[in-house]
Amino acid sequence: MSLFRRLISSTELRQPDGKPASFLVNRDLLPVPPEERQWTAINYWAFWCADSVNLSTFMIASSGISLGLSWWQCWLAVWVGYGIAAFFLVLNAYAGAVLHIIFPAYIRASFGVLGGLWPALNRAFMACVWYGVQSWIGGTCVYTFLLAIFPSLARLPNGIPSSGTDTAHFLCFFLFSLVSLVPIYFPMHKIRHLFTLKAIVSPIAAIALFAICIHKGSRGRLAAQAACKHYWLDAWMGVRGAGHVASKPSNVVVPQLVAMPFCFALTSLFGIFIGSSSQVIFGEFVWSPLDVMAKFLTVEGGASHGMRAGVAFISLGFIVAQLGTNIAANALSAGCDLTSIFPRFINIRRGGYIAALVGFVMCPWNLLSSSTNFSTYLSAYSVFLSSIVGVMIAHYYLVARRRVKVADLYSLEHESIYRYMYGFNLRAFAAYIAGILINVVGFAGAIGRTVPYAAQRIYDLSFLCGFSVSALVYTLLCYFFPVPVPTDAEMLEQPAALEGRVESHKDGEASVYDEEKKEVDGTASVELV
């Protein structure tokens, strides 16, 4: 065997049976085995408690005050917005919890075995870019932490003046990126402990900063602060249902439907008062908690030892918060998507490390500082994602009526019902394009072109419009040009290849895996191609 062949063979992934992975299947794409379905309702509560405590959430509501809204109007908008987001998230997470498969495998049912690569590529691109951006923000947390302990860090000579950043911030970015490599190594069903830690540490840090700001300001004056004009746009996007590792489907419903809006609303309320307090304390609005803490450290005469210790503790909590958010939203997301694009060589762990590498070498500080429209362009990417979600949900709940033949998700044989036309479901792509077109004119307005007022308003609701149009078009196309849907007989086939791992469901009811009786109702076989 030549050196090149040995190198290729050594990097190939192996299936549980020892066979090499194919271009459609590897271990991470297959349904999660029962022993790894360890996420309970408590884990999902902890996940959203942890995930909500991040810098973006602190600023999302307080930035609305700059648009002329009162604090309670901003807070109400957060409740409504995250309530809608939770509804869509649960719809997708429930399917993952029933089928125990990740997004790139699940999307094949609607877009086709090969067509599903395009949605996965879209999400992988966004995840890699945002991994870099969030890592840079995490590095800023590290900088604030070290600055509170070592004030001389601000005077560190800048050895890279032409890079767009300075030595101190780059070293902190490097440290955060290095630490982030550790949790990427662990599989999804084990990394839940990181979110449990974050759920404990991060809220304590948030409450501490909240208490400091309330103490230094006046609560009555904070609620009455007038709005000032300030532009801020959050471009946070992610798909974080984690339904495939749920111990049972019901675990992903109520905990996420309630915990997501509640936790984000509570964190946003802290952000409103922290942001508003800056007007009282510093005489100007400061929306970022990191900037608020930096101002505490640079007060005239120097910060006290107690204040420096408090800022260090709070910054450490935000480091943990940013780490958990980046792993959940970006590293795992990129890992899942990249494993579907190159399943023979990339699993979720390797995909996460690829995202970390791309996020580091892309020099995210240049993206954040060189273009004022960076966030606008990335936010516009939700136009593409909303159309994908619309097709997914319409197929699973309206067209297929929650019937999925899991085995055929991994096969391009003519017998596979998800082969469609050479692996592509043209109905899905037509609906996907329709969902994008409804927002195209408004997107042009977002980047500075003159467009009709109605198009601007449609673009303001880009996700809902894109989702609704793509879902409606897909449902109508499937009505006039039906797609194959598994029959009762197909759903009840008894396989051999993945017994105990794959559980199909029939008439919307998930079959139950009984570990003691070893009974598998409605399983489906998978042939590696």
DSSP string, 319-355: HHHHHHHHIIIIIHHHHHHHHHHSTTT--HHHHHHHH
Q: Which range among 219-233, 281-295, 466-480 shows the weakest confidence by mean pLDDT?
A: 219-233
CA–CA–CA angle 34, 40, 41 (5° rounding): 145
**Which residues make Cβ contacts (< 8 Å) with residue 527, sequence separation at least 6?**
407, 410, 411, 413, 497
pLDDT of amino acid 379: 62
pLDDT of amino acid 393: 94
Residue 210 domain boundaries: 38-232+245-371
pLDDT class for 33, splitting at 50, 70, 90? Answer: confident
pLDDT of amino acid 303: 77
pLDDT class for 433, splitting at 50, 70, 90? Answer: very high
Between CA 425 and CA 524 the distance in angstroms is 22
pLDDT of amino acid 131: 93
- Mean pLDDT within 409-420: 90
Whether residue 501 has pLDDT greater than 80: no
Place of tokens 């690569």: 117
Backbone angles phi, psi at 523, to 5 degrees: -85, 165
**Which residues make Cβ contacts (< 8 Å) with residue 506, sequence separation at least 6?**
403, 488, 491, 492, 522
Has residue 313 been placed in a domain? yes
Q: What is the DSSP string of 15-50?
A: -TTSPBP-SS--TTTSPPPGGG--B-HHHHHHHHHH
Has residue 404 been placed in a domain? no
Has residue 407 been placed in a domain? no
Whether residue 374 has pLDDT greater than 80: no
CATH number, domain containing residue 340:
1.10.4160.10
- Mean pLDDT within 510-528: 35
Has residue 192 been placed in a domain? yes
Total number of domains constituting the chain? 1
Has residue 513 been placed in a domain? no
**Most confidently predicted of 67-76, 146-155, 253-262:** 146-155
> What is the SS3 assignment for 509?
strand
Whether residue 423 has pLDDT greater than 50: yes
pTM of the entire structure? 0.81
pLDDT of amino acid 16: 56
Q: Which range among 84-93, 195-204, 433-442 shows the weakest confidence by mean pLDDT?
A: 195-204
Between CA 297 and CA 323 the distance in angstroms is 23
The larger pLDDT score, comparing residue 311 to residue 13, is at 311
Whether residue 519 has pLDDT greater than 50: no
pLDDT of amino acid 23: 67
Has residue 409 been placed in a domain? no
Classify each residue of 380-406 as buried b or exposed e, where b means 16 or more C-beta atoms within 10 Å of its C-beta. bbbbbbbbbbbbbbbbbbebbebbbbb
**Most confidently predicted of 25-39, 52-66, 261-275:** 261-275
pLDDT of amino acid 141: 94
Instruction: Pick the closest to residue 57 from 365, 371, 322, 327 (CA basis).
Output: 322
Q: Which range among 50-54, 156-160, 235-239, 404-408 shows the weakest confidence by mean pLDDT?
A: 235-239
Whether residue 27 has pLDDT greater than 90: no
Instruction: Pick the closest to residue 202 from 270, 130, 297, 275 (CA basis).
Output: 270
Place of tokens 């309670």: 72
Has residue 54 been placed in a domain? yes
pLDDT of amino acid 474: 98
Residues in the chain: 529
Q: Which range among 173-182, 314-323, 440-449, 498-507 shows the weakest confidence by mean pLDDT?
A: 498-507
Has residue 309 been placed in a domain? yes
